[in-house]
């Protein structure tokens, strides 16, 4: 329940971070059913990636429980989350421009760009898959919950629920983004950041 709630609560953050990708998704065909189907597949792709990451981090959490480190790791992750929230935006921008971060994200962004050109239903799903791997503070918070879950299945469930919680806001952004011009989108993005 807490993972689902975190997903719902982070929806507006998702619009600010992933909204431009979601709103700009190509339309496989020109009809409304194709438009909606493409957006659902994109969101399903994100949830699939979250599920995979949750399983990996849940498995990691099970190893930490066996080793007796889970409580210490939970405290360290909690402190890191608080620090991440308190870091001024200008420093966050510097972190995102760091060579290591760029080395990890540039191939993902290139892959997303190539998939945009295809504009097929499978491309929508794969864009969601790749989007799920892009750096995101709230995904990291949810992954801390996956670690604390203590096994791969529970970790996967935590991340599926988190992802499902983000879908209503992200889906609404993709639907209404079709009817909102670029100038209004920019204003919404700035407002969401605040």
Neighbour tally for 4: CB within 10 Å: 16
Q: Is 26 helix (H, G, I), strand (E, B) or coil?
A: coil
Q: Are 50 and 150 in contact (CB under 8 A)?
A: no
Sign of CA dihedral 44, 49, 55, 57: negative
Q: Are 68 and 135 in contact (CB under 8 A)?
A: no
| Alpha carbon distance 71, 78 (integer Å) | 11
| Alpha carbon distance 43, 96 (integer Å) | 24
**Tens digit of pLDDT for each residue in 142-191?**
888 888 887 899 999 999 999 999 999 888 887 776 666 667 656 665 66
| Alpha carbon distance 127, 192 (integer Å) | 23
Rounded average pLDDT per 10-residue block, the chain, 194 residues = 87 73 76 86 95 92 65 70 69 69 81 88 93 84 84 93 92 74 63 56
Task: Tell me the pTM.
Answer: 0.77
């Amino acid at each position: 329940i807490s993972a689902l709630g975190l997903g719902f609560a982070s929806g507006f953050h998702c619009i600010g971070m992933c909204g431009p990708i979601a709103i700009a998704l190509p339309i496989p065909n020109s009809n409304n059913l194709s438009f909606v189907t493409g957006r659902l597949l994109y969101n399903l792709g994100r949830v699939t990636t979250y599920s995979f990451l949750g399983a990996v981090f849940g498995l990691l959490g099970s190893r930490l429980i066996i080793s007796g480190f889970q409580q210490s790791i939970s405290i360290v992750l909690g402190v890191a989350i608080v620090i991440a929230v308190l870091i001024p935006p200008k420093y966050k921008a510097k972190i995102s421009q760091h060579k290591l971060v760029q080395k990890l994200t540039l191939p993902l962004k290139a892959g997303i760009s190539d998939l945009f050109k295809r504009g097929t239903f499978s491309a929508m799903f794969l864009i969601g898959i790749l989007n799920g791997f892009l750096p995101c503070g709230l995904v990291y918070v949810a992954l801390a919950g996956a670690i604390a879950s203590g096994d791969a299945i529970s970790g996967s469930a935590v991340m599926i629920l988190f992802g499902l919680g983000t879908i209503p806001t992200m889906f609404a952004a993709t639907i209404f983004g079709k009817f909102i011009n670029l100038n209004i989108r920019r204003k919404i993005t700035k407002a969401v950041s605040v």
